[in-house]
Amino acid sequence: MLEKVREKLMSIRFLRRILNWGRAWSLWSVHLETGCCGPEDMARACARYDTERFGTLPFPTLRECDLIFVTGFVTKKMAKRLKLVHEQMPSPKYIIALGNCAISGGLWWDSYNVVQGIDEVLPVDVYVPGCPPRPEAWIQAIRMLQEKIKKEGLDKK
């Protein structure tokens, strides 16, 4: 019953737009570092690049987060934990893959312990190339994801 009401409400374009707007501007990112882009994560969150302007706040608890930054390469051991973190997060959840290593293995293309592209494990929304990507590129990725979220559920009819 509740599901039906919810679906009915969400089919109203105006309400859907408000919901999408809210989701797009409060993307809290979970604190999980997988590779070498970690310091840039700090740089983009702090004084100069300050992504909190766009509603992206690094947050310790994954239960209240909607965004994972896959920062760099993902080893086989870390991939299991990454999947676990992704499963534990509440829906809707989004993933931004940062760095060549997360996209296709990058520098570690022949390493025996690195996952060759994170899309083998998880669905990725935005890819950002670079080694490591500059904080400006992170901000662009966040903006692209926001544009994507704003269009969600509005393409029908």
Partner 1 sequence: MKLSMGPQHPITGHFRFILDVDGDLVIKLDPDVGYTHRGIEKLAEKRTYPQNLPVIERTNSYCDSVGTMLGYLEAVEEVLGLEVPERGKYLRVIAAELNRIASHLYFLSLGAVATGFETMLMWTINDRELVLDLMERLSGQRITYTYPIMGGVRFDMPDGFKEEALKRLDYLGKRIEDYYTMAAKNHTFKMRMMKVGILKPSDAIRLGIVGPNLRASGVKADVRKDEPYEVYDRFDFMIPTGKNGDSYDRVGMRLKEIEQSISIVRQAVKDIPKGAFKKWAPYIVPKGEAYTRVESARGEFGYYLVGDGGIKPYRLKLSPPSFRNLIALPHLCRNVPLGDVPIIFITLDLIPMDVDR
Which residues contact partner 1 by CB under 8 A? 30-36, 38-40, 42-43, 46-48, 58, 60, 62, 73, 75, 77-78, 81, 85, 107-108, 110-114, 131-132, 134
Q: Which is nearer to partner 1, 132 or 145 (CB)?
A: 132
Q: Which two tokens stand for residue 144?
A: 């692209």
By DSSP bridging, strand 67-71 and strand 94-98 are parallel
By DSSP bridging, strand 58-59 and strand 29-30 are parallel
Q: Which is nearer to partner 1, 35 or 117 (CB)?
A: 35
Q: How far is the CB of 52 from partner 1 (least distance, A)?
A: 11
Helix (H, G, I), strand (E, B) or coil at 61: coil
Q: Residue 93: which region, alpha, beta or left (left: phi > 0; alpha: psi -120 to 50)?
A: beta
Q: Which is nearer to partner 1, 19 or 57 (CB)?
A: 57
Residue at 125: amino acid letter: D
Q: How far is the CB of 113 from partner 1 (least distance, A)?
A: 5
User: Which residue reads 């909607």 in tokens?
Assistant: 66
Q: How far is the CB of 92 from partner 1 (least distance, A)?
A: 19
Count other Cβ atoms within 10 Å, centred on residue 51. 21
Q: How far is the CB of 75 from partner 1 (least distance, A)?
A: 6
Q: Which is nearer to partner 1, 20 or 29 (CB)?
A: 29
